[in-house]
Chain A
Amino acid sequence: MAGTSISQLIIFITSMLIVAGVATTLTGQVGQIGGAIDDQAFELSSQIRTDIEIISDGQSDIYNETSNNLTLLVHNTGSNQLATDNGSIDILVNGQFETTSAIEPIDSQTWDPGVVVRIIVDVDLTTGRHRVTVRINSVGDSLRFTV
């Protein structure tokens, strides 16, 4: 009888430990899922709030043939403050990724809603029609221009 009780007690403690482990894992995993949902919501809301518009005049000389650079004026038409570092803004000229030599907000320290930034892109272009795309936070705008 005593042997049966002890074995039952061992089984009881083991089952409690297993269940406690399962419950701990469950809450831990749910906590991680919650964190991921929170991050995703933050990214998504930031993406929804982001909007930009290239206001450069494609019919004017936006390309400097002497210094081989393209000057773009981009207006923050969304409701988010945007980053102005090279890693945050992607520039594609005729589908090719290009580097920027300067990104500077005009009359402001930061790229707030309503503020325009001047982006200077170093690129060699031949005479003819070209297309430039500016992308930030998966949101972008394109401009066709002639050199």
Chain B
Amino acid sequence: MPDAYTRGSPMGFSVSGSAAIVFVGVLLAGSILYPTVTNSFDRINSAQSEYNQDVRAMRDTDITIRTASYNASNDTLSVVVENTGATTLTVNTTDVLVDNNYTTTFQSRSVAGSSDTDLWLEGEKLRIEISIDTQPDRVKIATRYGIQAVAEVA
């Protein structure tokens, strides 16, 4: 006596039909999930790679204040900072704090004698001159990667 499956009844087809629908569903779910997961990994990897570059640059960065002096006769504070690290810094992203006051106006800023360049290469000295009425106590220089140097003004 042949059973329902061997006779090709709807019950037999329903099993393979259900399997096909589930299979298509799984494929569809996979095709939704796969690009999302790869995009997410790419996004995190790219952020991690940028972070690693910044950390490497931060470790390679170092600055030293060679002199910080105030000339009372012309009310000028002169600071000479040397790039003692292994990264190229920029003059515009170098912050100057005089007694914790952020300075935005400078009398002059020159790297290795030139005031035209924004690049501050390894081993070069940045000379900053600021007009200020009274002698400040301290000056602080901070670079793009947060590396800082402080000096007492002589």
In the bound complex, how far is the Cα of B150 from the Cα of A106, in angstroms? 21
Which residue of B9, B41, B50, B95 contacts A75 across the interface (Cβ within 8 Å)? B95
B124-148: contact bitstring with A at CB < 8 Å (1 yes, 0 no)?
Answer: 0000000000000110101011101
Which residue of B24, B99, B104, B148 contacts A107 across the interface (Cβ within 8 Å)? B104
Number of A-B contacts (CB under 8 A): 140
A51 nearest in chain B by CB position: B54
By the criterion CB–CB under 8 Å, are B26 and A26 in contact?
yes
Which residue of B18, B22, B28, B150 contacts A57 across the interface (Cβ within 8 Å)? B150
Interface residues of chain A: helix, strand, loop or mixed (majority): helix
- In chain B, positions 92-119 with a C-beta closer than 8 Å to chain A are 93, 95, 97, 99-100, 102, 104
By the criterion CB–CB under 8 Å, are A26 and B29 in contact?
yes
Number of residues from B at the complex interface, CB < 8 A: 48
By the criterion CB–CB under 8 Å, are A116 and B102 in contact?
yes
Residues of A within 8 A of B1 (CB): none
Residues of B within 8 A of A45 (CB): 43-44, 46-47
By the criterion CB–CB under 8 Å, are B14 and A12 in contact?
yes
By the criterion CB–CB under 8 Å, are B51 and A48 in contact?
yes
By the criterion CB–CB under 8 Å, are A59 and B102 in contact?
no
Which residue of A5, A23, A55 contacts B25 across the interface (Cβ within 8 Å)? A23
Shortest 9 CB-CB distances between A and B: which pairs?
Answer: A23-B25, A53-B146, A41-B40, A45-B47, A34-B36, A30-B29, A60-B100, A12-B10, A48-B47
A114 nearest in chain B by CB position: B93
By the criterion CB–CB under 8 Å, are B102 and A118 in contact?
yes
B1-35: contact bitstring with A at CB < 8 Å (1 yes, 0 no)?
Answer: 00010000111011001100110111011101100
Distance (Å) between the CB of A52 and the closest chain B CB? 8
